[in-house]
Amino acid sequence: MKTNWNITTVKIYIPEQQTKVQTRQSMIYALVLLQGGWFMMGTDDPGIPQDGEGPQRRVRQDPFYIEEHEVTNQQFQHFTNQTGYITEAERFGDSFVFEGLLSEEVKSTLSSAVAAAPWWSPVKGADWRHPEGPDSTIEHRMSHPVLHVSWSDAQAYCQWAKRRLPTEAEWELACRGGLQDRLYPWGNKLMPRGLHYANLWQGDFPNHNTAEDGYANTSPVMSFPANGFGLYDMVGNAWEWTSDWWNVHHTTEDKYNPKGPETGTDRVKKGGSYMCHKSYCYRYRCAARSQNTPDSSASNLGFRCAADAES
Ligand SMILES: *[C@@H]1O[C@H](CO)[C@@H](O)[C@H](O)[C@H]1NC(C)=O
Ligand SMILES: [Ca+2]
Ligand SMILES: [Ca+2]
């Protein structure tokens, strides 16, 4: 496989030492090495109990790599250029878009919406290159997270990049950034010193987004501060697929490199998105979780890859 993307930085995180910066030949963007070890997964004080956020349990995780930011449109375009890959949304001919972002023209063509969430509409011609439907483009958003990618699309990209999706446990360890029992990657206060730490929704959902954090839609990756592991947008911006099947029942038993249930119908996604507001989607917390069928795609759902640590 040919690539003209050469040296990128690999930041190696080592607990109790400074972040070591190495360079190495790499096809695509930076990975951060996390040392693993024991951590507390989930919470005994769930924000949304029916999502299976609890109980809190001890998890021991081997070292692994995780990408420092969500996979961008640029990265995904590089992948499709090289492979000719067609996403599921492109094959199905439609994908879910948040109505608040649609042009009047696209809105006038809509036939159906989701009963429980009428702000979601399947839009013909919506896909990763056209996040708000056929009259939209990613040209000015190449550094934003790729959207409208199904779990299978995400899986295909990571495989091509010689990587894989993170497990939910890996993702959550990464989200916590070395902190214990905190709500957010940076602590318990949503806005320390009055500053925005993630791309979320401010205002009245779903009618009015004040975009006080600077963005009513996605933001370029790394627009908000990194967590303690040097990882960006772990909560907010785009939801992120993980490799686990969905299940809301957990025990307090210690777990070793858990990979989730053997089977299921839905896959776990983590971190919430630019559409999340406390009033209806208090899921921009590390313990929070949600699910979609593996062929689902939407205008707020992306991913990042992980990789095994060579030992
Ligand atoms: C993908 O191919 C198009 C058309 O040749 C080109 O304009 C674009 O820069 C390529 N993208 C990447 C990320 O290589
Ligand atoms: Ca926002
Ligand atoms: Ca995210």
- Spell out the domain ranges in the chain: 31-76+146-308
Cα end-to-end span (Å), the chain:
25
pTM of the model: 0.91
Q: Ligand 3 centre and the CA of 66: distance in Å?
A: 13
Q: Which residue's CA is the nearest one to ligand 1's atom 14?
A: 78
pLDDT computed for residue 66 by the predictor = 95
3 has pLDDT over 80: no
User: What is the CATH topology of the domain spanning 31-76+146-308?
Assistant: paralog of FGE (formylglycine-generating enzyme) (3.90.1580)
What is the Cα–Cα distance from 167 to 269, expressed in whole angstroms? Answer: 10
Mean pLDDT value across residues 26-54 = 88
pLDDT computed for residue 29 by the predictor = 65
Residue holding tokens 């069928």? 293
What is the Cα–Cα distance from 127 to 217, expressed in whole angstroms? Answer: 15
What is the gyration radius of the CA atoms in the chain, in angstroms? 19
Q: What is the average pLDDT score of the chain?
A: 90
pLDDT > 70: percent of the chain? 90
Where residue 311 falls among pLDDT bands split at 50, 70, 90? Answer: low
pLDDT computed for residue 7 by the predictor = 35
pLDDT computed for residue 74 by the predictor = 93
Mean pLDDT value across residues 75-84 = 95
Paired tokens of 55 = 């109980």
Q: What is the pLDDT of residues 124-177, one digit of tens each?
A: 999 999 999 999 999 999 999 999 999 999 999 999 988 999 999 999 999 999
Separation of CA 145 from chain center: 9
Name the maximum alpha-carbon separation found in the chain: 57
Cα distances from 229 to residues 5, 188, 283, 289, in angstroms, run 25, 17, 21, 21
From the CB of 77, is ligand 1 less than 6 Å away? yes
Cα distances from 140 to residues 4, 71, 114, 129, 244, in angstroms, run 22, 16, 29, 11, 33
- Ligand 1 atom with the smallest distance to the CA of 80 is 1
Ligand nearest to the CA of 217: 2
Q: What is the pLDDT of residues 169-227, one digit of tens each?
A: 999 999 999 999 999 999 999 999 999 999 999 999 999 999 999 999 999 999 999 99
Q: Ligand 2 centre and the CA of 222: distance in Å?
A: 14
256 has pLDDT over 90: yes
What is the Cα–Cα distance from 136 to 97, expressed in whole angstroms? Answer: 12
Give the torsion sign (CA, 243, 249, 250, 251): negative
